[in-house]
Amino acid sequence: MSDGALSQAEIDALLSGRSGGEGGAGSGGGGGNSNETAVIESFLKTTIASQSNVISMMTGGTVNFSGPSVFETSRDAFLNEIPDIVTSVKIDFTAGFPGEHLFVMTEDTAKSIASLMNKEENITLDEMAMSVIAESVSQMSGTEITALSGKTGNKSIASASPEAVNIPKAAVAMPSGNFVVAAYNVDMGDGVPQKIWEIFGPSVAQAIAAALNTPPAGAAAQNGAMSGGGGAMGNAGAMGGGAMYGGNTPAGSSFMQPVQFPNLNYQTGAHEQGNIGLLMDVYMEMTVELGRTRKLIKEILMMGEGTIIELDKLAGEPVDILVNHKLIAKGEVVVIDENFGVRVTEIISPQERLSEVG
């Protein structure tokens, strides 16, 4: 700045131990890295509304994401920014842009998400809570992948099943060397500011930035068809050339371009996601299944009082929780005031649900 005063970004960079400058906070001093983080930040900002809607629908509350600020940093510098105990959700990309990818959040943020989703106060980060947090991160990553596929034309992007743990920050499995971090501000509806950090391995960040800087396949050819290559349009005509409209195209030459159709990318907009609210009061059948078995008709006809039927479940094995006959979770049987109940111990991941449907 001309008056010598530091900008807020420069102050934040100094406080967090990163180098500032025109390259951006934590850019590592390289112009390419600065451009890389700027491209990723610009893209992630387009997903903020969708991320807010997804988590709001999952929690039943009003959750707002803002930001993010994206910067390049190292493990030691990042550890200085986060509390001693954090919740880490590792969800590596397995295809499209394969490599390391994870989310890190404070314990308070993790508890807020689990508390809202389970409708339970003073929650502890046990196995059930961690599965809920993993599911929420899976939905966030899925929203991001959908948007990324639409922007880059890469339809093969996929991620691994999320693995959520609550551990000391030194035990978080971070990428080696410098990596890219997106820092989100989160409001869970209680006015208390929360933080979630998304970490991209160096190869993932580089590949994503390169893809976002490259038009999807076919876009260049489509632009060429529309422009007609300068003089070609003058001879061939604005809608496809002399071969179609009898222009003065020289014999033996062709200025016609193949028809290019835009990719039909399905992206759920904020309005479409909001429409799920219309279904919130629809009843669905929930069933807890202890086990199954197959019997011959003659065996069934021979059944009587006292007959013992052996099921395919082992003693102590989780029971299946089904909604409209589709497996969504597993749990353990409990007794509540002389009534049977089931405590959810595992939420089936979206990938497993899709494989069930397939």
Of 213, 242, 262, which one is at a domain's C-terminal end? 213
How distant, in Å, are the alpha carbons of 15, 112, 117, 128, 281 from that of 63? Answer: 28, 11, 12, 21, 21
Mean pLDDT score across all residues of the chain: 76
34 and 168 part of one domain: yes
d(CA 59, CA 55): 6
Domain containing 151 — which CATH number?
A: 3.40.1550.10
Of 213, 231, 255, which one is at a domain's C-terminal end? 213
Of the given ranges (149-153, 222-226, 278-282, 325-329), which has the lowest mean pLDDT? 222-226
In a domain, 209, yes or no: yes
In a domain, 61, yes or no: yes
In a domain, 2, yes or no: no
Domain containing 301 — which CATH number?
A: 2.30.330.10
How distant, in Å, are the alpha carbons of 5, 7, 9, 105 from that of 2? Answer: 8, 11, 16, 37
For residue 182, the model assigns a pLDDT of 93
pLDDT digits (tens, 9 = 90+) for 190-213: 778 889 999 999 999 999 999 988
Of 181, 213, 245, which one is at a domain's C-terminal end? 213
What's the domain range around 325? 283-357
DSSP element (H, E) containing 114:
helix 107-118
